Chain A
Amino acid sequence: DTEVTQTPKHLVMGMTNKKSLKCEQHMGHRAMYWYKQKAKKPPELMFVYSYEKLSINESVPSRFSPECPNSSLLNLHLHALQPEDSALYLCASSQQYPGPYSDEQYFGPGTRLTVT
């Protein structure tokens, strides 16, 4: 199984709402990633988890809160978002610990988030 799943596919939320995005993989990968992708732009790295510990936070605002409950699951908790946070949020996983050596990443289909 080489699949990364993400739920929900679409999410519309107001600026005062709290919501969560979910990502799951069953490939035994030990690194998981959150990316943000605006239209016609490449993915921008937000967070990296390795062995269920936060390894990289690319200076993401605190209204985005990641969580890795176990090696297969990755959540992104959203609170008090702004309209400019509307984007496609992609989850990815890779086999290798993201130390000096990077590895191919497997991406989920993404969650299309709209903040109203």
Chain B
Amino acid sequence: AQSVTQPDIHITVSEGASLELRCNYSYGATPYLFWYVQSPGQGLQLLLKYFSGDTLVQGIKGFEAEFKRSQSSFNLRKPSVHWSDAAEYFCAVGSTSGTYKYIFGTGTRLKVLA
């Protein structure tokens, strides 16, 4: 069955430090992969997506993610975190065949220390 796991419920980093948020998926083939960010009380904003090709994808706000097929992972990274990055981050998996599925992970809440 298709699933998405975000192992870290909360992550706290200092401003200026690097960040890595983990995402693991279970899918029969290579899925479509997405990272979204949600500020409190707001909708979700797409940070980046992977459909095919280069496994390192660049997104908005200085984020990047790397698709690793061997590890079934799509981790989100940022070299230097800003206080405004504090938010909830969701990884999502979309189906590439068969019945339509679009599944969100449980989210990782990022806190940034000044």
Contacts and interface: CB of A to CB of B under 8 A. Distances in A.
Contacts of A80: none
Given A42-B107, A88-B41, A110-B41, A101 B96 contact: yes
A99 B106 contact: no
A67 B49 CA distance: 30
Contacts of A110: 41-43
Given A105-B46, A109-B43, A99 B90 contact: no
B100 A56 contact: yes
Interface residues of A, number: 27
Contacts of B97: 100-101
Nearest to B48: A104
Contacts of B100: 48, 55-56, 98-100, 102
Size class of the B contact interface (CB-based, 8 Å): 20 to 34
Pick from B34, B94, B101, B107 the residue with the most CB of A within 10 Å: B94
Given A42-B90, A100-B97, A105 B102 contact: yes
A104 B90 CA distance: 13
B94 A106 contact: no
A31 B23 CA distance: 26
A112 interface: yes
B95 to A, nearest CB: 6
Given A42-B106, A43-B104, A56-B100, A90 B44 contact: yes
Nearest to B32: A102
B12 interface: no
Given A100-B100, A102-B95, A107 B106 contact: no
Given A100-B96, A101-B96, A109 B104 contact: no
22 contacts: A4-B43, A6-B43, A40-B107, A42-B105, A42-B107, A48-B100, A56-B100, A92-B44, A98-B100, A100-B95, A100-B98, A100-B100, A101-B96, A102-B32, A102-B94, A102-B101, A102-B102, A105-B44, A107-B36, A107-B43, A108-B43, A109-B43
